[in-house]
Amino acid sequence: MTYKSRRRLSALILLVGLPLYIVLAVSIVTWFDRPPIVVELLIYVGLGLLWALPFKYVFRGVGQADPEDGQ
């Protein structure tokens, strides 16, 4: 995957996918009886780490200069 396509895909994931994932996570947690605050915090931290694992390759190096630029 080229640098430019990874950059575009990462922007799409962050601007569209992450807000949808947040709404889904909050909906699932509040769908049931609300757990104690510490348990709820641990759930959100776990889900916050879990969403990024499949996209680790896409986000790697996106903030750096384009390696194909030749400078």
Prediction pTM value: 0.74
| Contacts of 29 by beta carbon, 8 Å cutoff, 6+ apart | 35, 40, 43, 44
* 8 lies in some domain: yes
Q: Is 61 helix (H, G, I), strand (E, B) or coil?
A: coil
Each residue of 28-39: pLDDT tens digit? 888 888 889 999
Give the pLDDT confidence score for residue 20 in this predicted structure.
Answer: 93
How many independent structural domains does the chain possess?
1
* 10 lies in some domain: yes
Residues with pLDDT less than 50, the chain:
none
Give the pLDDT confidence score for residue 12 in this predicted structure.
Answer: 93
Give the pLDDT confidence score for residue 70 in this predicted structure.
Answer: 65
> Could you list the residue range(s) of the whole structural domain that residue 30 is in?
3-57
DSSP string across 3-23: HHHHHHHHHHIIIIIHHHHHH
